[in-house]
Structures are given as C-alpha cells and as structure tokens.
C-alpha cells in the first residue's frame, strides 16, 4: 500500500493530538506520558509508521554529564538538518539551555519560524504537552533544526497542484500545472 505524501500539516496535526499528554521522563506514549524526546518519537511513529530508534536510558542531567551532542546526532540519523532560520511548521527544533552545553530539549514547530507569532509544541518537565509561543527566551536557545524526510509543502501535494487560480482561470501553459484539468474546491 502506498503511503500518501507527508505534509507539514499532517505532522502538526499528529503533534497536536499529543496535547495534554502528561510529562513522564523517558516515556513515549500518547495520553499516557512522554518527555520532549518521547513526543518527537511518537509523532515520528504516527507519520512515518515505525519507531526511529530506541534511545538508551538517560538521566535528566545527561547533557551536562556527557557534553556531547547526543540529541543532535540521533536527530541527524533520522531527520534532515536545516538552517534554523528556515524552519517551518512540522520541523523539529533542538534547544541548549546553556551556551557551552549540548542541546537537550526538543520541540516541534506548529508555524513557520518567521510567522508573526511562531509557536512550538513540546513536553516540558512538570507540564503536560502544550503548544506555546516561541518567545525570545526559547528562540535564543535554538541550537539545531531538522525536517522530516520526504516532507512536501502543501503546494506539492497532488490536491494542491490541481487547485484553480484565484480568478478561476486555468494555470498558464508552461507552468508546473499548465494544461492540467482544474479542480474547483
């Protein structure tokens, strides 16, 4: 069976379905409990269909102890690294809480990073999964950004390609949509 194209809106919808999941360190089960990594792993399972990898046990202070970019390295094995300034809805952000320490927190963008009011969805200690503004304090701590492999923009999805022009006219010849039938939504 062929899987439909992975869109940013599908990733955001999957992430939002985790809202309210309690914070549980090292967990990754919707409505039962997750931490920030468990949230990203759970969303991955929903949109990609399998577990990316099972992380080894880790303590809350693992980044301070290891001083290696363990979270970045794991993300790079499964996601595609991008410039944080280009991050869009559905992309994963990694945050470092201190300048000289590795990234140890992750969140999913639910809007483009350059939106008027960008937002992230994450699990944070003592709080359930929530969607919050990407305030300057969080933005200043972004260390890395990644996108899901195979993600397409809404305009790349088959239904979007057949959308009519604003005036209802078919697209001009020679355009990517040129000569295609126009579907009126």
Query: What is the per-residue pLDDT for 178?
Result: 35
The reported pLDDT for the residue numbered 4 is: 80
Q: Which of 185, 86, 90 is nearest to 144 (CA)?
A: 86
Structure tokens at 50: 């399998």
The pLDDT assigned to 61 comes to: 80
Question: Residue 184: what pLDDT?
Answer: 30
Residue 152, burial from CB neighbour count under 10 angstroms (0-12, 13-18, 19+): middle
Kindly report the average pLDDT of the chain as a whole number: 84
How would you label 87-123 residue by residue, b for 16+ Cβ within 10 Å and e otherwise?
Answer: bbbbbbbbbbeeeeebbbbbbbbbbbbeeeebbbbbb
Tell me the backbone φ, ψ of residue 6, rounded to 5 degrees: -85, 115
pTM of the model: 0.81
- Give me the average pLDDT of each 10-residue run along the chain (185 residues): 86 98 97 98 96 86 81 96 98 95 96 97 96 97 97 57 36 35 31
Question: What is the rounded CA–CA span in Å between residue 61 and residue 145?
Answer: 22
3-class SS at 95?
strand
Asked if residues 180 and 162 have their Cβ atoms less than 8 Å apart, the reply is: yes
Q: Which ranges constitute the DSSP H helices of the chain?
A: 8-16, 36-48, 62-66, 70-78, 136-139, 158-161
E-assigned strand segments in 51-150? 80-82, 92-95, 105-109, 119-122, 130-133, 142-147
pLDDT of residue 180: 32
In angstroms, the CA 152 to CA 161 distance is 12
Check residue 66 and give its pLDDT.
78
Q: The tokens of 80 are what?
A: 């595609």
The CATH architecture annotation of domain 6-151 reads Alpha-Beta Complex (3.90)
Residue 1: predicted pLDDT: 59
Q: What is the rounded distance in angstroms from the CA atom of residue 163 to the CA atom of residue 137? A: 40
């Amino acid at each position: 069976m062929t899987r439909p194209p992975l869109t940013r809106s599908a990733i955001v919808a999957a992430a939002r379905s985790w809202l309210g999941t309690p914070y549980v360190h090292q967990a990754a089960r919707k409505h039962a409990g997750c931490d920030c990594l468990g949230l990203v792993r759970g969303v991955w399972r929903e949109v990609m269909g399998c577990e990316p990898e099972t992380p080894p046990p880790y303590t809350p202070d693992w980044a301070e102890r290891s001083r290696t970019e363990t979270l970045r390295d794991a993300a790079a094995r499964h996601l595609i690294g991008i410039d944080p300034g280009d991050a869009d809805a559905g992309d994963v952000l990694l945050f470092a809480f201190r300048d000289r320490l590795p990234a140890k927190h992750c969140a999913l963008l639910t809007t483009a990073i350059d939106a008027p009011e960008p937002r992230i969805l994450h699990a944070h200690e003592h709080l359930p999964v929530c969607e919050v503004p990407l305030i300057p304090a969080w933005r200043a701590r972004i260390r890395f950004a990644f996108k899901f492999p195979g993600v397409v923009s809404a305009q790349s999805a088959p239904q979007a390609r057949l959308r009519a022009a604003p005036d209802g006219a078919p697209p001009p010849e020679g355009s990517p949509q040129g000569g295609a039938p126009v579907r009126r939504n």
